[in-house]
Structure 1
């Protein structure tokens, strides 16, 4: 039987260092993406968490408990949800990028191609649910005769 991703065993030796390097570099890009318009952060946080489960369970736990990154992971793992705030921020960032490109890039074909790619990404993102699925509550047995 195949293990779930959450239960992946950490790698050993050089493979562990490769997973750790991928997790660290992805997390670094995610932090930079928080400040650079047009660069997505959620995808890099997801990649960092996935790689960290294979390279460093301690890093994976830290990412999951982080005040910025933890909610992203929770939302994604529970219904592939993206918060409204993240959607609005990403849309505004993409819009700013298109505006900057329109003013600074001479070849309009590149601006149009980038705008179309960003529009596709925005459509996909806005199609995601905004709230994670609620975990099912355990069913409490009803005992006859008790109120």
Structure 2
């Protein structure tokens, strides 16, 4: 299962949490275990090693998009509590630039890329369907 929906103007504040809850319920009913979910780079991971610039950006995001970050954390909680084999791919700013054909997979503080093309992000997400090294983790791609 690949889940890449997110907030737009007028979305309910718990869109990602409740949508993920519905997806997980349907997955369990049909025997599907693997889910790759998309979130923003602002969703923290215990593996992150943020630098000063990352901390400043994180503070700005919390001030500007508090409810979206709260919902992203709620969706992660739903995944952690499920019996699913989940990976949450975190992406920085998305661009409409042509794909580079490569990207880094890491954590905040080691992956210093601030953007990724939508095409490269799609490739990274599809790669996670067969890559078990990031299972139960939140890789940052860029």
TM-score with structure 2 setting the length: 0.23
- Higher helix content, 1 or 2: 1
Bigger radius of gyration, 1 or 2?
Answer: 1
Higher relative contact order (CA 8 A, sep 6+): 2
TM-score (norm 1): 0.23
